[in-house]
Structure 1
Amino acid sequence: MVDTRRTDLVLLAVALVWGSSYLTAKAATDAAPVLVVLFMRYLISALVCVPLVLSTARRGEGRRRWTSEEVRIGSVLGVTQAAILVLEMYGVAHTSAANAGLLISLTLVITPVLDHLGGRRRHAPLPVRFFLAAGLCVVAVGLLTSSNGLHTPGAGDALILAAAVVRAGHVVLVGRLTAGRSLRPLQLTSVQTVVGTVLCLAPAAGGLSTLTRASAGVWGQLVYLALFCSVFAFLAQTWAVQRTSPSRASLLLGTEPVWALAVGIGIGGERLTAFTAVGALLMLAGTYWGQAVERAHRTTAQERAAQEGEDTAPSPAASTAAAAAPTAG
């Protein structure tokens, strides 16, 4: 019981950190260019992760610091992760932190769709109820991106919606590339942080001088994004999901948009209109409903496959959907 509570608390802490990252990123991008903030987030993360890998190698684990597979796969995932964060950071700079946290939760319903469309083996079609839940989320998007009435989503909202699609594709890619391979999370993370640092260096170079005028608060935000929202969140999540079920982990990590909403309103002073309040409720209901339907559908398919003597392994993307969100926030 104690271990279960500890694991649940760790997962909730990860969800809280990710939820708070939207307001932190918004505040940081108000003081420095988006790509500078992103470059520093990657650089600080890399300066922590790489020495950790080197220190564990020196203690003698009997394996190389990085295997060729870890470098190759980590590099590919580093590119897709950077794409997500660029979209998210530019998006949150032009919308509210609460909106960003709620809209990015669409990843939960987009991922199973992409997983089924891109699956190498035949999948049973998703039930109609799943698409009803997805439709509820679409209605929620319209309400969330409105103020006093419905209108076309703003640039920031559109970028966050694009980030949700790319993030879902990233989750599916993680599942495909890591399935059946012995890959170490810390090594993969360190490669991704180095790739992100390299990719952001040239675009951010022209704005790095703005950091010389940055306040201690801005530097604190950069460190928080790097150490807590990236390094801590990913490693803590990896530790926790190994000690609980994918369903329970997914449910707890799925509270991220709730925390984003609470932090945005409670700390950021963001205002919720009647339209956006209803949209927030519909988004939470739609994503939780869609996730529950997909999970039940996957479990039934595995049980049917077991009865027929087929491979019962879950879809890689489905089982990593909750654990593949280190890109978040």
Structure 2
Amino acid sequence: MKTLKGGPGGRGVDVALLGVAAVWGGSYLVAKELTAEASVPAVLGWRFVVASLALGAVWLWRVRRVPGRAELWTGVLLGLTQAAVLFLETWGVAQTRASKAGLIISLVVVFTPLVDSAAARRWLPPGFFVAAVVSVVGVALLVSGGGFRAPNPGDLLMLAAAAVRAGHVTLLGTLTRHKPFSSVTITLIQSAVCTGAGVAMDPAGMATAAFAFGPSGWLRVLFLGLACSVFAFLVQLWAVRRTSAARASLLMGTEPVWAVLAGVLLAGEAVGWSGALGAALIVAGCHAGQRIEARTRLAVPELPGLVPASAAVAGHVGKP
């Protein structure tokens, strides 16, 4: 991949990471539109057929090394957890507003360090839990719709997706840390597993969707498969090696902002005063929790178990 202008840690890197965040933020609206034309398994199946073909081409270009048994089974296991996350997310976004989905899933930034520190029996400072509570209050306001009421099924599915993604990212770090695995190979295996899950769950729907999508539908599929998976993966892989983890987290952490902009500007979704306040609290709480987690990790370098907050955003094939 050609080096963008701006040098290490320069403007080119920042623009690239913001581009990843914008693409992922817009993916919720695109996925929601596709689920109106086909089933969730069919949407994900075709999305990862596209991603797998493109990643396969990258693998042939950059890797061309047959994975060993440990690498293969690691990719399969991570593919299964990734598939669980993506099915929850896509079913969730089909039943709620795209702007809400993008904000709720951002809770993974505070869920991941909680899961990882609990698994390692290490606890984060009290300030982190204050930030987490602020984020949860933000979600309550976001789903209230101007008056306090129970969240809809889509909201609950997005919350479940955030929790499962936290476990997935923790597992990702545990299984791949200090291992000579190829990132491209692992990601390709995950993508192939997600493809298989979509085909297995609804083979007839896959066939029907191939004719139901039409030109605009296939453009959305290509956007999810190429932009949200392959482009985002390659760009973040290039960029995070040229900037700090904290800066990468901050830039990619703008994803929920882009999700709200896409929902409001392109789909005409209404936020309301409570939704706007909730969105602000979620972004503020996640940002504060991310900074506290980063400071804790840097202050205790001999404890490598803490998963960087950036991994919660970047440690997967792509967004729904």
Q: Using structure 2 for the length normalisation, give the TM-score.
A: 0.93
**One-letter identity of the residue aligned with 2:160:** A
Between structure 1 and structure 2, the one with the greater Rg is: 1
Residue 316 of structure 2 is aligned to residue 318 of structure 1: no
**One-letter identity of the residue aligned with 2:175:** L
The alpha-carbon deviation at position 322 of structure 1 amounts to 4.2
1:48 match: 54
Deviation sequence 1:169-207 (CA, Å, 0-9, x none)? 111111101111111111111111111111221212121
1:187 match: 185
The alpha-carbon deviation at position 31 of structure 1 amounts to 1.3
**Partners of 2:313 and 2:40 in 1: CA distance:** 27
Q: Compared with structure 1, are the counterparts of its residues 164 and 99 closer, same or farther at alpha carbon in structure 2 (3 Å cutoff)? A: same
Q: 1:12 aligns with which of 18, 24, 30?
A: 18
Deviation sequence 1:204-257 (CA, Å, 0-9, x none)? 212131431322101100110000001111121111111111111111110100
Is the deviation greater in 258-267 or in 196-205?
Answer: 196-205
Q: List aligned pairs for 1:1-329, cutoff 5 A.
A: 2-3=6-7, 4-57=10-63, 64-119=65-120, 122-123=121-122, 125-207=123-205, 208-302=207-301, 312=302, 314-315=304-305, 317-318=307-308, 320-329=311-320
The alpha-carbon deviation at position 104 of structure 1 amounts to 0.4
The alpha-carbon deviation at position 317 of structure 1 amounts to 2.2
Structure 2 residue matching 1:286: 3-state secondary structure: helix
How many residue pairs align between the two structures? 312
**Partners of 1:325 and 1:247 in 2: CA distance:** 18
**One-letter identity of the residue aligned with 2:163:** V
**Partners of 1:21 and 1:157 in 2: CA distance:** 17
Check whether the contact 2:191–2:317 (CA below 8 A) recurs between aligned residues.
Answer: no
**Partners of 1:218 and 1:96 in 2: CA distance:** 19
Structure 2, unaligned stretches of length 5 or more? Answer: none
Deviation sequence 1:284-303 (CA, Å, 0-9, x none)? 1111111111111222222x
The alpha-carbon deviation at position 130 of structure 1 amounts to 0.9
**Partners of 1:50 and 1:211 in 2: CA distance:** 21
The alpha-carbon deviation at position 55 of structure 1 amounts to 3.7
**One-letter identity of the residue aligned with 1:286:** G
**Partners of 1:318 and 1:89 in 2: CA distance:** 25
User: Aligned Cα RMSD in Å?
Assistant: 1.6
Check whether the contact 1:133–1:286 (CA below 8 A) recurs between aligned residues.
Answer: yes
Deviation sequence 1:286-326 (CA, Å, 0-9, x none)? 11111111111222222xxxxxxxxx363362273343143
Q: Compared with structure 1, are the counterparts of its residues 79 and 152 closer, same or farther at alpha carbon in structure 2 (3 Å cutoff)? A: same
Check whether the contact 2:190–2:317 (CA below 8 A) recurs between aligned residues.
Answer: no
Is the deviation greater in 196-205 or in 151-160?
Answer: 196-205
Q: Compared with structure 1, are the counterparts of its residues 2 and 56 closer, same or farther at alpha carbon in structure 2 (3 Å cutoff)? A: closer
Q: Compared with structure 1, are the counterparts of its residues 327 and 51 closer, same or farther at alpha carbon in structure 2 (3 Å cutoff)? A: closer
**Partners of 1:56 and 1:135 in 2: CA distance:** 44
Is the deviation greater in 313-322 or in 89-98?
Answer: 313-322
**One-letter identity of the residue aligned with 1:114:** V
Q: Compared with structure 1, are the counterparts of its residues 55 and 293 closer, same or farther at alpha carbon in structure 2 (3 Å cutoff)? A: closer
